[in-house]
Structures are given as structure tokens and as C-alpha cells.
Chains A and B, each alone.
Chain A
Amino acid sequence: MTMSKLEESEALHARARAFVAAFGRGEPMPEAFDALARDLADFQARWNAGYARLRAARGEAIPAVPTEVFKLARVSVFDEGETPVVFRTSGTTAAARGAHWFRTCATYDAASVAMGRVALGVSERVPVLVLGPPPAEQPDSSLVHMMARFVEAFGTAASVDETYFVRDGVMDLVALDERVTRLLMSSVRDTVVLATSLAYVHLLDALGGAKFRMPDRTRAMQTGGFKTLTRSVDGSALRRDVARAFCIDESAVVSEYGMTELSSQFWETSFVGGERNVWVEPPWARVVPVDPETLAPVANGATGIARIEDLANVDSAVAIVTADQVRRAGRGFELLGRSAGAPPRGCSIATEEMLGP
């Protein structure tokens, strides 16, 4: 019997979540990565004409969708009325923002929480402090959504005001200080802080070099770039400064790498014994450095742009290609910045020049 699109989607979501569940139980994966990836690509090409055209144009079974496409086309097998959740990329105008539509966030949520729990070394509920807004304030941010799921999944009971410390773009340092003081006074040792790099910069600026002592087993998630910051900030220096301010080891400042176009995230595992500056994939996603001209995998250890295969992207794009430069290293990959390509000759305008910074 032929399955409907919805039934097929549900079945594929269930297969993706089976990966997550097995990971959570420490069991072998339920099936081969490539088998599910191929089935997802077939499903997406069957129900999305754009992906079918890309497949035909590139002559590949699982071609990667450039992240730019999320700004120009609807990357979903479902129509707008069937996708109640949308996450948008950052940007100042609607036209410049990409959109990732979701029929269901069940797989996204399970995947995010499972990998976050491991990277942050959370085995039981801990206080979670978010240096960001509550989800109601930014419902279209995948990062805010993910942080809220972490709060739900492994945070101890606390009010919204005791959990989220940014409102209308302003960080409430008084409220944060009060919450941390209460934690210290009640001898809490384990705490998780979730924040963007930008939020940490603002916090450190506000502290002006002073310490802000946190419980001794605090881990601080650091994510995102500095798109709206007017000065350059070095990521390693930021890690060092956060660790110093919080009075924790640098290995407890853990970087997460994710993007709106994905449903899975990649983490440094330095808090749980892994290497610093190496981002590790969950078993349902993988990052493949590819040649920017051919989009074919580069030799092991060579630098390429990131092709990311994400089995949790069930209804959108099982493979995407970014402009981020990566290299396989250790148990994961290193992030080496954005690919700028060679500068074009002379006065013919480059796309990035037109779009500005």
C-alpha cells in the first residue's frame, strides 16, 4: 500500500529519532546512516520539485542544498499551511533572511537535547541560566528554541525570570547576580549557562574585568558569531575571558556549532574529556569537507567547505552546503572560518560586495 506524504514523513521521522534514542541508550545505531540519508533524499525529491531539479542538475543521489537557497525558495516538502513552525536566519531585512519550516519539531527537539546533554555533561537536572530572551520573545530563532528545550529537558524548576536574563535586548545583570548568589548560597555545584558569543561579550563588557564567580561545576555554552558587533573579537580570547570571569576551567566553556538550516548541532566535548576546538557530530549527522568548486569530498585532513548531512532534517534538506571552511580532525572537525574564495578580478562586482557586510 502506498503511504501518503504525511505517513512517509512520520515514518522517516521515527527512523531518525531511532538514531537519537539509540545514542541516548548508548546502543548501536539502528540502521546504516547512508540508507536513511538516501531514503530522505528520495522523499524530498519526490515531494519538492526544487530538490528534484537539483538532483537532476548535479546528477547526484544526495546533492547538497546551498544555504542561500533557504533565502530564495521554500525548502520543505510541505506547504506553508502544514508547517506551523518557522525558524529564520539572522538579518536585518525579511528578504535577506532565510527560513526553515517545520511540520513538527519533535525530531529537532530530541536530537538537540540528546547531543547537548552529552556535550554539557548533564546526567541529572541542573540549574540552567540563559543569557538570552525567553522563546516567546523570539519565536522564530532556532537558537532560542533550542535553549528553551534544554531548560525544559534538564533544567531544575525555576521561573522564566530566574532563567532568561535578556529582555528586549537588555541583559538584566541584577537578576542574574541574584540567581547566582542564591545558587552559591545553597551550595549548588552544577550549573549550565547558555549564551551566544555576543551575549558573553556584553556581559564581559559590563563586568569591566571583574570576576562573576559561578558554581564550580558550571559549564558555559558559547555559540554563534559576532555579526552585529562593530569590533573584532577572537573566539579563543573570549573563551579565556569567560572562564576567568566565571572562575571555571577553559575546558568548561564549550562551543556549539549549529545553524538555522539544520536540525542537529555539533559540539566541542572538552567538558567531558574531548579536544578543544574540535566539534563532534552526533551519529545522525556528519560534516564532510568538500572542494568548493566541485563539491566533491576532499582528501582526509584537507580543508574544504562544509557539506553537512543531517538525518534530522527530514522534511527539508538532508544535505546542505555552507561557506564555512572545515577540516576533519580527531573525532570531529575543526572550524576554520568562512570561505572567501579568491578575490574577483577588477571592477566586476562580487555578490558579497553588493550585499554588503
Chain B
Amino acid sequence: MSGAADVRALLAAAARVARDPAIVDALVSSTGLSRENVELSLAAHLELDAPDAEIDSLVAGAGRAESVHVVLSASVFVAPLRAIALALAASDRVTVHASRREPVFARALVAALGDPRVRLVEERVVDAAEIHVYGRAETIASVRRAAGPRSIVRGHGPGLGVALVSGDFARAASLLAEDVTAFDQRGCLSPRVAYVVGDAHAFARAAADALEARAALFPRGALDPGEATDLARWTSTAAYAGTLHRGAASAVAVLDADALPPSGRHLLVRPLDSPASFLSVLGALGPFVTTVGTNLALDPVPHVRLCALGAMQRPPFDGPVDRRPPT
């Protein structure tokens, strides 16, 4: 019977992986992130110090399944830790299909764990009792189509974070820059839009400065071809229809429209009349918002994690990281 002890063993294995000098180079190569950003992620975003209460809560919420197959995405390289922990808490038979684009951390973690109940597999398993799939909507749909009739597929689809900001813009921008910089904004918690009560242009300037300052410490890695393509169009669109602040490794635009920027450290700033209108202006983005980082006191938002700016990429270990119901 798996339980909290197994999860603690997994956390210990993750700590060994993080201490392995060879892992950083491998992750720089597989993720495209800079060395500094990989090191930051291992130090600050890998949940090695999860409190007992969070571990117990994760185990209690994991349910039971005869077998669990985990299909991982390439977005956030530390994400396999929580995904495998959830699976191990639910079952003694766990198979893990790592992303082809970023297999390094998952492989290292499973190897370091050395538990025969958790195996890496090269092909997706279609007949597990539960299939936990993380990634794009197309990936989830493809797994669902292939799944056996008795498999339960729990899809954790694409999403984004947004920020709601007022007051001390310099401090807020600095904290938000930390959230944007982590994993070069490729995770489903990563903020892509900041709603600003007050002078949106002033906040945009502060955010642009903060992102460039952050890039000096933690350089941006290479953009994906898709990101680079979207960036050319987005910056042109933002320059025409709004105000664009283009930095060497980031871009911030003030634009009162749902012109979502590509990932890769790009932020859309939208003016907001008052915090009360926040939910109504989310519009088409609403169903995709996983996390709201804010320096305001907000009432709970259904299916959304509220947290402080600077903590958007540091969710509690028992999550749920993404409060939206699995699809």
C-alpha cells in the first residue's frame, strides 16, 4: 500500500537528482532554459521541503487505483515530481511516459527512486485503470481516444496565470518578474496577463524594467520556433494597437484587448477600473486561468488558486496546482 512514506522517498530521490552535478547540463540541453534558470528552478521550484501536512493531504486526496499511467508534458521540468507523487499515492503500479522533448528529469527521478512499482515506459499505456495526462488539449484528446474502455483519463490541460495588481508598482513588478521568469513562462501557472488598477502604463514600465533586471541574473533561454513566430506578430500588433516596451529578453505591452502574448517572458498589461470588475474582464481567458497572483485581498475565485505575487510558481505540494476539475 503506497502512502506518505513512499512520497517522502520520492522527495528524497528528487533531492538526489537536484544534487547531481550532471543534471544541470542535461536540463539546459533538454529544456532550452539558461543554466542560471535551471539552477534557480532546482533550488526554488522543486518541492523538496514539503511539510508533512501537505504530503498527508496529497496522499489523502489521491484516491486509489489498480494502476496509474502518467503522461508528462515538456513545459515545466520539475512537474514530474508532483505528478508521480500523486500517482504513487494512488497506486502500487505506476508507469510514466516522459515527454520526448524533456525526458531528462522524469527519467532521472524514476532512476533515483529505484522503486519497481514505478517504471518508465517508452510507449503510452492505454489500459491502465487511471491515466493522468498533462499537456496540450490535443495531447489529452489523443490519449482519451486511445484509452481502453475501462480506463479513467484525468486530463490536466493548458492554462495560464494572470496577475491583479494595484498599489506599490515597483514591488509588484519585481515579484511578478520572478513569476514570469520561472521556466521562461512556459507553465500553466505562468502569468501572461497583468490586470492593473491605476496607471497601467506606469506598471508596464516597471514590469519591463523588472523583467530586464531579472534577465541579467537569470538569462532567458532560446525561444521555441513557435514562440519566436508568435512574438514577431504579437509585438507588431501591440506596437500598433497599444504601447509596447521591448527589452532584449522580454516584452511588455499595454493593450486593452485579449491579445495573449506568447510564452518566453512576454506580458500583456490591461487597465482595470477596479478590482470588483476583475472577474468580468477575464472574458475568453476565464476558463483557462489556473492561478491569480495578486497584491490585493480577493474573495475566493472558483477553480482558481489565489496567491501572492512572487509565489505563483510555488504552489503547495498538495496542490491542487490547477484547481480546475480534470477533464
Contact = CB atoms under 8 A, between A and B. Distances in A.
A293 interface: yes
A12 interface: no
A81 interface: no
B288 A349 contact: yes
A297 B190 CA distance: 34
B226 A341 contact: yes
A230 interface: no
A35 B229 CA distance: 30
B186 A293 contact: no
Nearest to A51: B240
B226 A343 contact: yes
B158 A348 contact: yes
Contacts of B136: 343-344, 346-347, 350, 353
Nearest first, the 8 A-B pairs at minimum CB distance are A346-B75, A346-B73, A57-B239, A341-B226, A73-B241, A347-B188, A342-B226, A349-B158
A51 B75 CA distance: 36
Contact of A354 (B76, B255, B260, B263): B260
Interface stretch (B15-23, B103-111, B196-204, B230-238): B230-238
Q: How large is the interface on B (under 10, 10 to 19, 20 to 34, 35 or more residues)?
A: 35 or more
A238 interface: no
B117 interface: no
Interface stretch (A63-71, A107-115, A262-270, A280-288): A63-71
- Most chain B CB within a 10 A radius of its CB, from A51, A56, A57, A349: A349
Contacts of A64: 236
B186 A348 contact: yes
B233 A68 contact: yes
Given A293-B228, A348-B75, 4 more contacts: A53-B239, A66-B233, A341-B230, A349-B288
A344 B186 CA distance: 8
A295 to B, nearest CB: 5
A157 B226 CA distance: 52
Interface of B: 73-76, 99, 101-102, 134-138, 156-160, 185-188, 190, 192, 224-233, 235-237, 239-241, 243-244, 246, 255, 257-260, 262-263, 284-285, 288
A138 to B, nearest CB: 26
Contacts of A56: 239
Contacts of A58: 236, 239
A319 to B, nearest CB: 11
A346 B240 contact: no
A341 B223 CA distance: 12
A349 to B, nearest CB: 4
Contact of A69 (B156, B237, B246): B237
Nearest to A345: B74
B75 A347 contact: yes
Nearest to B188: A347
Contacts of B288: 349, 354
A339 interface: yes
Contact of B229 (A50, A51, A292, A354): A292
Contacts of A53: 239-240, 243-244
Contacts of B244: 53, 57
Given A294-B232, A351-B260, A345 B102 contact: yes
Contact of A65 (B99, B224, B228, B236): B236
B255 A72 contact: yes
Nearest to B289: A349
Contacts of A72: 237, 241, 255, 257, 259
A128 B237 CA distance: 40
